[in-house]
Structure 1
Amino acid sequence: MTSKREKSLGNCFVSQPKVRRISDVLLASALVGLLWGCASRPTNVLLPVADTSPSSSKVEMLVATTRSRSSNPAQMYTGERGLAPSFAEITVSIPPPSVRKVGEVAWPKKLPSNPATDFAVVQAQEFTLETAKGWLSASVRKSPD
């Protein structure tokens, strides 16, 4: 028979204090993991840098968001909702596969980003709705699909 301070886990019995310690360790580990994930990426990475890496590839993106524009050009948008959609074109330099793990974003370890080893913004320009429509139309016309 088990005492009130023991808990059944399948065929084994674990004392209540031990269960509490295990759950405390799991909770602490989860919190550390969350904090580590949040702290591992730099902020303000949208400030363009000179692309000095001839071996990097470039991806041009049209950005459409309902977030408010930021006064900080390295951030571009805030977490607050805007009154109307905002648009921008961002060109990202992607380092060659030989210096990064394919399928993962190579966040810069420090700023400014190094296009030879990190994903780096090399152009960021705000667009009007009309400019965004023109960009999208031109991009669709260029697409081989």
Structure 2
Amino acid sequence: MAVPTKNIPAPDLVPVRRALLSVFDKTGLIDFAKALAAAGVELVSTGGTAKAIAEAGLAVRDVSDLTGFPEIMDGRVKTLHPSVHGALLGIRDDADHAKAMRDHHIEPIDLVVSNLYPFEEVRRSGAGYASIVENIDIGGPAMIRASAKNHPYVALAP
């Protein structure tokens, strides 16, 4: 199906008011989160990432507060929720999308900070099958792809 491009605005700087941070490798996370917080950005995060941000003394909102649903299945399901993906995929200046976001209490997310589980490293290490399977990232790639699809409205930082 061809999608007309005339309705998609040209990429520009995305104003960031809310960021979702969910990373496996936390290198540089705290400095980046501090810079976002200093700029007045609301930090939303998951599991260990939220814990690291909170331990650094920064205000952070758990993603389960956004979704109204807890992390389940040992953290396998955290961000796979319409409140997250609607927040990433909603075209902000499309009246129908804006109405759907309002009707379903979906708060826009302007920035995704994500890196993926180290699947290849784990596979190459000779780890067992179960460990390899657990390092197949689902939520991270889904958020990255949603951000890329809606790039005029959502920025992405690795």
Please report the TM-score for the alignment, with normalisation by the length of structure 1.
0.23
Q: Please state which structure has a larger fraction of its residues in strand.
A: 1
| Bigger radius of gyration | 1
The structure with higher relative contact order (CA 8 Å, sep 6+) is: 2
Which has a greater percent of helix?
2
TM-score between both structures, scaled by the size of structure 2: 0.21
